Amino acid sequence: MKKQLLIAAVAATMTSAAIADISITGNAKINYTNTDYELATKNDANVFNHDIDLTIVGQSGATKVVVVMADETNEAEAKNAFDLEDRYVSSSVADVNVKVGSWDNGNDFVSDSSRANGKFSADTTISGVKVVYDASNGNGTTTGNETVTVSGSMGGVNASYKQESTGEEIKLSTTVAGVSLAYHADNSDTANSDKSSIEVSGEVSGIKLAYVQIDADTKASIGGDSWAGDFEVADSDTGAYQLSDGQDVTAMKISTSVAGNTVAFTRTDVDGVATEDTSINKFTVTRPLASGATFEATYTSIDDDGSTTTDADILDLELAVKF
């Protein structure tokens, strides 16, 4: 009897440890989108989309294994299975954190996200200054990209400088009297290929305000998925708006809470090349539901001076959940 109790206790301990070391989180959303094109010869579109993401994390001490799977299905992209996205191992050696695998580097105002295999990252902090070394595999004909980033804070100003093989990236941010300021410059060694953004944001009487100015040189294109808009250099994203070299973007966002809803209005203006001035007005209402999901209705109006084929009124209804 004692042996049986001992075995049961050990088994229970092992089961608890296994469950504690593995976590699964994710999010999912379903969308119905109606696009009413202004051009009479272009048919309106009704599309149902779904997007499911699962993140699996296995951990032993300070070492993690992370796998992210995504299933994105719509009429334009007939996918019926999960795709592996981020997948990496992170750990530490003495005071150095290391990470190897594939992961998304994230979006910002000037550049869209990217993911590559065979990435390596190592970082440490020296006297309050963080130093990050990033590298990726070469393919036998080209060398892997290497970058070094130094970042820290001084006098309330956060600063980051990244040295890249093709240029440099500078980020500065601070808050003055409740107003947040952020500057981002992506400087290229190629002539006329620099990009930059400056964002000002704050809150007054429960109303959140944000303004951003994004500039691109004549041989540079703005990408990135941010509150200012979903822009792509190559139109591989079905819901994105493709920009040409030299086009600049300005955007303003106002949001507040009304009767349990979050209400937001965003105005985005795109200009910079001949007659290709475009205005995008977006009105969004978001409400949490008792079911645990969140309902969001977005109305978007696109007015393009350079092309009547993209002028449209778009209604997007979304049901989303996180777990």
Report how far residue 50's alpha carbon sits from residue 29's, in angstroms, rounded to the nearest whole number.
6
Percent of the chain with pLDDT over 90: 61
Residue 240's contacts (CB-CB under 8 Å, 6 or more residues apart) are: 225, 230, 231, 232
| Predicted pLDDT of residue 309 | 64
Q: Say which residue, 240 or 110, is predicted with more confidence.
A: 110
Three-class secondary structure assignment of 264-275: EEEEEEEECCCC
* Mean pLDDT over the full length of the chain: 86
Q: How confident is the model at residue 106 (pLDDT cuts 50, 70, 90)?
A: confident
Report how far residue 299's alpha carbon sits from residue 301's, in angstroms, rounded to the nearest whole number.
7
| Predicted pLDDT of residue 231 | 86
**One-character DSSP codes across 91-144:** EEETTEEEEEEE-B----SS----B-SSEEEEEEEETTEEEEEEEE---SSSPP
Between strands 229-232 and 224-226, the pairing is antiparallel
pLDDT in tens, 72-104: 765 555 556 788 889 999 999 999 999 999 998
